[in-house]
């Protein structure tokens, strides 16, 4: 297998059997009808030791916390309120019971913040690497779930937080390891990678807005997520390099490195989306009153689904360059 995205496309069912299904494969989470007033939202993610995390960059507590956070982020991208989660874990002999307890404590700390209940899962052994799979469930007002296919020509592209910080933090961890000594600024980047904060409040503001909004979360980098919006909506997206929100702690990096980390680094878990130009100012006011970021970083045009970077008046096409599990590595 060379491309996970092509594989997923190939196995996506051509029909559905349940009349209550609202949205299946192809978004951050699946949506199906729940109660009279609410839809159910469900997503699942797997973290594999040595692929998605290393024990010299994350503590067991942080591995657990991040494992739940990335699922909550998917719920945020749908505009949902988190409610439940399930955990399946495959454990190698190298992991102690104390370390596993810490891993679950990490999930529990985040679950308490969002009042999520752990309702089940599975525990098995494995020979080599630890494998953590979390399923998260949430609810959203009927008809208010946000999808990737709502972008239209004339819309503005936005993000709800800094981008590139997590990748910069991972670079620092590779350089200094988990027990390294970091400056205050470096520590802010390291924490962005180790303990990402899902943008549930931002997602809820966007879900309860009556505006047409396309939404995604930044797990694989701004470029990859913008491609998903462009492909789902059948539009061309232009990212303005100068508008990308870069944390001041990244000032030591060259401008080109900052842009590369923002576009291709991933794991920022902020939200990226599009809104109509006439709605942007109102959304900015709403977010500002809540002390939240709403940063316009580009625009949407008619054209073949694609993503372009505008920098110093020049346009450059950006290839889909997110993390792909089955690409050959050097």
Residue 213 has phi, psi (to 5 degrees) of: -140, 135
117 is in an annotated binding site: no
**C-alpha distances out from residue 82 to 1, 70, 98, 240, Å:** 34, 12, 28, 33
SS3 state of residue 276 = coil
Backbone angles phi, psi at 38, to 5 degrees: -130, 145
Q: Does 148 belong to an annotated binding site?
A: yes
Is 268 marked as a binding-site residue? no
Quickly count helices (H) and strands (E) in the chain: 9, 13
Region class of 291: left (phi > 0), else alpha (psi between -120 and 50), else beta? left
* Terminal-to-terminal C-alpha distance of the chain: 16
* 165 in a labelled binding site: no
Q: Which residues pair with 84 in a beta bridge?
A: 117, 137
Annotation-wise, does 39 bind a ligand? no
**Residues 6+ positions from 172 with CB-CB distance below 8 Å:** 180, 182, 186, 189, 190
Is 56 annotated in a binding site? The answer is no
SS (H, E, C) 21-34: EEECECECCEEEEC
Q: In what order do the strands lie in the sheet with 38-48?
A: 21-23, 30-33, 38-48, 131-141, 81-91, 117-125
| 309 contacts 244 by C-beta, under 8 angstroms | no
DSSP string, 71-82: HHHHHHHTTPEE
The answer to whether 276 and 236 are in contact (CB under 8 A) is no
**Known binder of ligand: residue 45?**
yes
Number of neighbouring beta carbons within 10 Å of residue 219: 21
Instruction: Report the run of H or E that residue 158 belongs to, with start and end.
Output: strand 156-159
Beta bridge partners of 158: 273, 296
Tell me if 126 sits within 8 A of 90, measured CB to CB: yes
Annotated binding residue at 27?
no
**Which residues line the annotated binding site?**
28, 45, 52, 74, 104, 121-122, 148, 217, 219-220, 267, 323
**Which residues line the annotated binding site for substrate?**
52, 267, 323
**Which residues line the annotated binding site for ATP?**
104, 121-122, 148, 219
**Which residues line the annotated binding site for Mg(2+)?**
28, 45, 74, 122, 217, 220
């Amino acid at each position: 297998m060379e491309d996970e995205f092509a594989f997923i496309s190939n196995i996506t069912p051509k029909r559905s059997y349940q009349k209550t299904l609202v949205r299946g494969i192809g978004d951050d989470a699946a949506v199906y009808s729940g109660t009279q007033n609410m839809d159910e939202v469900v997503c699942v993610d797997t973290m594999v030791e040595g692929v998605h995390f290393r024990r010299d960059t994350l503590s067991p507590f942080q591995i657990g916390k991040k494992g739940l956070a990335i699922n909550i982020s998917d719920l945020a991208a749908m505009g949902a309120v988190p409610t439940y989660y399930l955990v399946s874990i495959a454990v190698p002999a190298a992991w102690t019971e104390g370390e596993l307890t810490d891993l679950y404590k990490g999930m529990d700390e985040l679950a308490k913040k969002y009042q999520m209940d752990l309702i089940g899962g599975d525990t098995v052994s494995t020979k080599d690497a630890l494998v953590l799979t979390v399923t998260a469930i949430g609810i959203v007002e009927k008809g208010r779930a946000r999808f990737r296919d709502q972008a239209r020509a004339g819309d503005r592209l936005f993000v709800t937080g800094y981008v590139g910080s997590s990748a910069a933090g991972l670079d620092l961890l590779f350089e200094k390891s988990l027990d390294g000594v970091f400056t205050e600024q470096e520590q802010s980047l390291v924490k962005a990678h180790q303990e990402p904060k899902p943008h549930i409040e931002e997602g809820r503001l966007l879900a309860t807005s009556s505006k047409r909004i396309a939404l995604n979360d930044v797990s694989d980098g701004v470029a990859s997520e913008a491609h998903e919006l462009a492909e789902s909506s059948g539009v061309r997206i232009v990212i303005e390099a100068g508008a990308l929100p870069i944390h001041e702690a990244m000032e030591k990096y060259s401008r080109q490195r900052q842009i590369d980390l923002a576009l291709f680094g991933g794991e920022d878990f902020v939200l990226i989306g599009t809104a109509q130009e006439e709605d942007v100012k109102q959304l900015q006011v709403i977010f500002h009153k809540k002390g939240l970021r709403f940063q316009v970083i580009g625009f949407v045009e008619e054209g073949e689904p694609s993503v372009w970077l505008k920098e110093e008046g020049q346009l450059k096409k950006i290839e889909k360059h997110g993390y792909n599990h089955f690409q050959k590595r050097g």
